[in-house]
Chains A and B, each alone.
Chain A
C-alpha cells in the first residue's frame, strides 16, 4: 500500500530557530500533499495544500511567511517553521494521495512532534 514517511519524528529546538520537516511518498507519486497541525486531543487542522511545482495554498489564518512550504518533486514536500516560538509546539502531520490513480484517498505520514523551548 501507499506509504508516507516524515522526518524527523521528533525535534526540540530553541526559540527563534527554524525547523524543517520532510514529507516523502515512498512508493507513489504525489502531485498534492497536505500539511496538518494537531494539538493534543484535538482534530487535524489543515494548514496548507502543497502543489508540486507551484506555490502552496494556505488556509485562512496560517502565516505563509512563517510556515514555508516547498514541493520540489513528486515525492517530497517540506515544511519549514521559521523563527519558531513555544506556541508553534505541536504535532505536524503530512498526507498525500496517489497522483497516478486519481485517488481520493489520503495517506498520512507518522507525524513530527515539535517542541520549541
Chain B
C-alpha cells in the first residue's frame, strides 16, 4: 500500500541556517506533491505544490524538490527564523484517486 514517511523526530536548527525536511514515499508515483505548515491548535496552511514533471519550485525563502527516481521530496527553508518553527506536512495524491494523503509531519524548531 502507499506509504509516506516524514522524519517524526523534531528538527532543531539555529536561526539563519537552512532547514531541510524530507518526505519519502513508497509503492506508487504521485502526480502532485504539496507542502503545508501547521501551527499548534490551527489548521494546516498551504505553502507549495510541485508536479511530477517539475524538479524544483521556489517561493521566497522556500524551495521544494521532487525526485521521482528516489521517490523523495526535500523542503528547504533558507535563512530560517524562529517564526518558521512549526510542523511541516507533505501530502501526495493517492493512487488513481483525487484524495490527498498526508504524512505525519516533521516539527521544526528554530532557535535564536
Question: Are A and B physically bound partners?
Answer: no
